[in-house]
Amino acid sequence: MNMSWQSLDRTREELSSKVAEDEKVLATVITRLLRNKKILKEIDLKARRKTQCLLSEVDAEEDSDLLNCPAADALVGLSPAIWSSMAMLDDFSSFNDAAESAGSGGIDAEASGNSEGVQ
């Protein structure tokens, strides 16, 4: 019986030392985990700030591009009558282009018809 008490005491001491070692490892891991989480949180905050800064710079560039565009300034002061005249000119030029392309096809067809009749 004396042997079983000694064995039990030895097993208890071995397991106690293993538990103590594991608690040290766990404490180290928890410390590292908390430190890394804190660093990651700071990095995420900096990334959000940088994103906001970049977005505001892009917005500022777009605004300045619109303000520095001479074509935009030239067209802002035009009256509705001028705008409608410009629309009519666009319509006329597209109609004129269509008529010219249709007319050239007709002339080619007539020329080929005339050349057949002359032979």
Alpha-carbon distance of 78 to 88, in angstroms, equals 15
Low-confidence ranges of the chain (pLDDT < 50): 106-112, 114-119
List b or e across 16-25, with b for residues whose CB sees 16 or more CB atoms inside 10 angstroms.
Answer: eeeeeeeeee
Q: What is the pLDDT of residues 102-119, one digit of tens each?
A: 665 544 444 445 444 444
Are 72 and 66 in contact, with CB atoms under 8 Å apart?
yes
pLDDT score at 91: 78
Global pTM value: 0.43
pLDDT score at 76: 56
Alpha-carbon distance of 114 to 119, in angstroms, equals 9
pLDDT score at 108: 45
pLDDT score at 109: 44
List b or e across 90-117, with b for residues whose CB sees 16 or more CB atoms inside 10 angstroms.
Answer: eeeeeeeeeeeeeeeeeeeeeeeeeeee
Instruction: Decide: helix, strand or coil at residue 106.
Output: helix
